[in-house]
Amino acid sequence: MLNEKNNNHHQNNIVYDVKKLNLWYGDVLALKDINLTIRENQVTAIIGPSGCGKSTFIKTLNRMVDNIPAVRTSGEVLYYGTNIFSDTLRVEELRTSVGMVFQKPNPFPKSIYENVVYGPKIHGISDKKILSEITETSLKSASLWEEVKDRLHANAYGLSGGQQQRLCIARSLAIQPQVLLMDEPTSALDPIATNKIEELINELKKYYTIVIVTHNMQQAARISDITSFFLSGEVIETDATQKIFTNPNDKKTEDYITGKFG
């Protein structure tokens, strides 16, 4: 199984090609000369200690960093060959193709149904039949359907934290993105809910490309194909997950995964 991962991880199409990416918050350089390739239908895990720039990096991939004042970038992030910083790229369009799930579940204070159809609706789908089809498909893909099918019109805030997070995943899936970015999606959840989401990620990677930030190394080891170790805004090492966790090239990576710091 692990061998299989190793064998084909260089063959899958390139989704993101990050080249010499620097990012500043004002005068503070938060990402330093990042080079990273993300491939189709793989789970790429970003690991590293708090404050090393994991969130900043993943928020750059769908340009959510645009919303933070005083952010500047240099370098290139190619998404299927197009630089996402180019003037001709519409950021709204990028985000319909790159979904994002946040650290703290953030459903809208609306019904479960309204949460799932939010994306389709704002992008112009109004046919009730299509919308309810999308709802069912998305909730099934997020393994939430069975739990909520009888209360689609109940408020999303009545769900448990784990269910809310799966609802947020369903909400992202409803506009059929190609990539799913997840920033520590289980850090606010209990172990059972975490386990459910990890199983879900394993399922989703057949159809989506997933980038997941986690500071839980066991999680990275369990669910990812590729792991990239960040430290102080730099990529120290990116390799097959199995390699990173058994025989890393860099001493710093080894120190981190063996718990010497972080």
Partner 1 sequence: MNHHNSSDNNEKNIELNNEGKLKTFFNKDIISKRMNNRILLDKVAKKLFFGSILFALIILVILFYRIGVLSIGWIDLQFLTSNLSIFPEKAGIYGVLIGSFLLMVVVIPVTLLLGISTAIYLEEYAKKGRFQSFVNINISNLAGVPSVIFGLLGLTVFGRLLNLGSSILAGGLTLSLLVLPIIVAAGQEAIRAVPGFLRDGAYAMGATKWTTVRTVVLPSALPGILTGSILAVSRAIGETAPLVVLGIPALILRVPNSLMSDFTALPIQIYYWTLDTVLTPEYANMAAATIVVLLVLLFLLNSVAIVIRNKYQRRY
Q: Give the count of beta carbons closer than 10 Å to the beta carbon of residue 88.
A: 6
With CB under 5 A as the rule, give the number of residues binding Mg ion. 1
Using CB under 8 A as the binding rule, whether residue 166 contacts partner 1 is answered as no
Partner interacting with residue 50 (select from Mg ion, partner 1, ligand ADP, none; CB below 5-8 Å by kind): ligand ADP
Residues 149 and 140 sit within 8 Å (Cβ to Cβ): no
Binding span for partner 1 by CB under 8 A among 8-16, 28-36, 98-106, 137-145: 98-106
Q: Least distance from C-beta 98 to partner 1, angstroms?
A: 9
CA-CA distances (angstroms) from residue 214 to 14, 106, 151, 198?
Answer: 22, 18, 32, 12
Distance CA 117, CA 85 (A): 29
**80 exposed, middle or buried (CB, 10 Å; 0-12, 13-18, 19+)?**
middle
* CA–centroid distance for 137 within its chain: 20
Q: Does 123 bind partner 1 (CB under 8 A)?
A: yes
Question: Does 122 sit near partner 1 (CB under 8 A)?
Answer: yes
214 binding Mg ion? (CB under 5 A) = no
Min CB(48)–Mg ion separation in Å: 10
Please report whether residue 197 would count as binding partner 1 according to CB under 8 A. Answer: no
Give min distance, CB of 101 to partner 1, in A.
8
For partner 1 (CB under 8 A), the number of binding residues is 26
- Contact present, 159 and 151 (Cβ < 8 Å): no
Minimum distance of ligand ADP from residue 157's CB (angstroms): 26
Contact partners, residue 80, CB within 8 Å, separation at least 6: 14, 15
Contact positions toward partner 1, by CB under 8 A? 62, 64, 67, 69, 92-96, 99-100, 102, 104, 106-109, 118-119, 122-123, 157, 168, 171-172, 175
